[in-house]
Each structure stands twice: as C-alpha cells, then as structure tokens.
C-alpha cells in the first residue's frame, strides 16, 4: 500500500492553514484521495500531477486549505487513500484551535423592562474577518411565538458602512 504523511504547514496570510498529504511509493499510478474533516467528506480527488520515482513507483501531494477561524473546536483532518482495489489507508492530523478562537462566540442578555411583560434582548457576537470580508453583511433574526407564525424580525448591517 502507499505510504501517507499528513503535515501542517505554517499559517498563510490571515487564518488559512495549509495541510498536506504526501502519498508515496505507489504503483500503478491511479489513486483516489479523500479529505475528511471530523469524519465528514470535505473533498475527493484523483491523482493528477505525479512524480515518478527511480523504482517506477509514484509520489503525489495533495493540499487542503483550512480556514482555522471558522472552527471553535479542534478539527481532525484525515487523508484517506484508495489504491488499486486495496483497503483504504488513512492518516489523521489534529488542527488545534487557539484558546482565543475557542473563546470567541456570542453573549446574549435578556432583561425584564420595567413592570411590563416585555424584554430587552441584546446579543454580541465577535466574528474574525479576513481583509476581503468588508463587503459582508451581518444579519440578526428573532423569531418568537408572539409573532404568531409571521416572519421573524430581521435586522441587517453592512460591514463596509459600519467600519467607515
């Protein structure tokens, strides 16, 4: 069976992490590779640009770019290779999420206003953005039984206008 090595390269600009799967010493050259994130299929590909070794076997490297800021918990990335009808072989790598990213989240407060039966709800969310995200929108949506099946209350903020 082919040999596998999964490694994490230093972080690229922003929060992008490059994880590689080096598949080595396989013959014949046809090979299918599947990337899994926490056991769920992320991407499947067939070997294309191969490097031929002196002994006639082949090597191939696959890259997976992961946005580490999109995860609040550690992520297990698995490289699974199916080759020549043999049982699949796999190697895993745990992408550890920093304590700062685990702490990011939402904070919601509910207060009774006065002596009435109404409430003031405020919610704060911290979202890590990349430089190209300034054209994004933040949407807040509230659904409640008192709306009697009507559409939820919805507010939208455009980031490009907010950070001017």
Q: Once rounded to an integer, what is the mean pLDDT over residues 141-164?
A: 71
Report whether 155 contacts 140 (CB < 8 A).
Answer: yes
Question: pLDDT band at residue 109, thresholds of 50, 70 and 90?
Answer: low
* pLDDT bracket for residue 111 (50, 70, 90): low
144-153 burial string, b = 16+ CB within 10 Å, else e? eeeeeeeeee
Q: 105-162, what's its fold?
A: Immunoglobulin-like (2.60.40)
Classified as helix, coil or strand, 145 is: helix
Alpha-carbon gap, residue 13 to 31, rounded angstroms:
31
Mean confidence (pLDDT) of the chain: 78
Same fold, 3-99 and 105-162: yes
Check if the beta carbon of residue 73 is closer than 8 Å to that of residue 87: no
Assign 16 a pLDDT band (cuts: 50, 70, 90): confident
Going by CATH, does the domain composed of 3-99 fall within 3.40.50.300? no
> Domain map of the chain by residue range?
3-99, 105-162
Rounded Cα distance between 79 and 129, Å, is 28
pLDDT given at position 79: 96
């Amino acid at each position: 069976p082919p040999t596998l090595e999964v490694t994490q390269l230093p972080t690229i600009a922003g929060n992008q992490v490059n994880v590689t799967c080096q598949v080595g010493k396989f013959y014949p050259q046809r090979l299918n590779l599947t990337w899994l994130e926490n056991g769920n299929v992320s991407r499947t590909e067939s070997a294309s640009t191969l490097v031929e070794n002196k002994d006639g076997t082949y090597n191939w490297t696959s890259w997976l770019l992961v946005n580490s800021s999109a995860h609040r918990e550690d992520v297990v990335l698995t490289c699974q290779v199916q080759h020549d009808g043999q049982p699949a072989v796999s190697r895993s790598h745990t992408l550890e999420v920093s304590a700062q990213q685990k702490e990011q989240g939402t904070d919601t407060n509910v207060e009774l206003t006065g002596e009435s039966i109404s409430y003031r709800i405020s919610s704060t969310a911290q979202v890590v953005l990349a430089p190209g995200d300034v054209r994004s929108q933040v949407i807040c949506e509230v659904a409640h039984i008192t709306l009697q099946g009507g559409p939820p209350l919805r507010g939208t903020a455009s980031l490009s206008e907010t950070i001017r």
